């Protein structure tokens, strides 16, 4: 599945938040400064072509909803990040967080506990 641009991700964030909606609903839920409705419509068309969104015609309007969950997209994005920037090693990613002081000892201990629990 193809990756998303920043603009496409922003539309997906709205859809994940509202669940599903018409173009007007998506526009209303989009943060300021809001792009033009034609821009959102074009992004929705692209997202449909990429397989992230489906549209169901309801009268004269399309009802849009995500086909890919936020969790699944997040997993795929992290996997690509680890593969592309950390030699495929999640350990290297965590080490970078430690070096940059973006993760605390308490968080590392909680992570280790989760790993131990998952292996049981």
Q: What is the average pLDDT value for the chain, to the nearest integer?
A: 94
Residues 12/73, Cβ–Cβ less than 8 Å: yes
For residue 1, pLDDT over 80 is answered with no
E-only strand ranges, the chain: 53-58, 61-66
| pLDDT of 18 | 98
Give the domain ranges of the chain. 6-66, 70-119
Long-range contacts of 85-89 (CB under 8 A, 24+ apart): none
Q: Which two tokens stand for residue 59?
A: 């009268």
The residues facing 66 across adjacent strands are 53
Indicate the pTM of the whole model. Answer: 0.81
CATH class of the domain whose range is 6-66: mainly alpha
- Tens digits of residue pLDDT in 41-91: 999 999 999 999 999 999 999 999 999 999 999 999 999 999 999 999 988
Burial annotation 33-42 (CB, 10 A radius, 16+ → b, else e): eeeeeeebee
């Amino acid at each position: 599945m193809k990756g998303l641009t920043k603009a496409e991700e922003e539309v997906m964030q709205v859809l994940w938040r509202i669940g599903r909606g018409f173009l007007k609903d998506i526009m209303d839920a989009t943060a300021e400064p809001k792009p033009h409705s034609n821009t959102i419509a074009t992004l929705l068309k692209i997202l449909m072509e990429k397989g992230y969104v489906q549209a169901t015609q309801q009268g004269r309007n399309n009802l849009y909803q995500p086909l890919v969950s936020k969790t699944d997209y997040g997993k795929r994005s992290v996997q690509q990040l680890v593969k592309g920037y950390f030699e495929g090693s999640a350990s290297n990613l965590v080490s970078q967080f430690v070096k940059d002081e973006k993760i605390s000892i308490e968080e590392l201990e909680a992570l280790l506990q989760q790993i131990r629990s998952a292996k049981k």
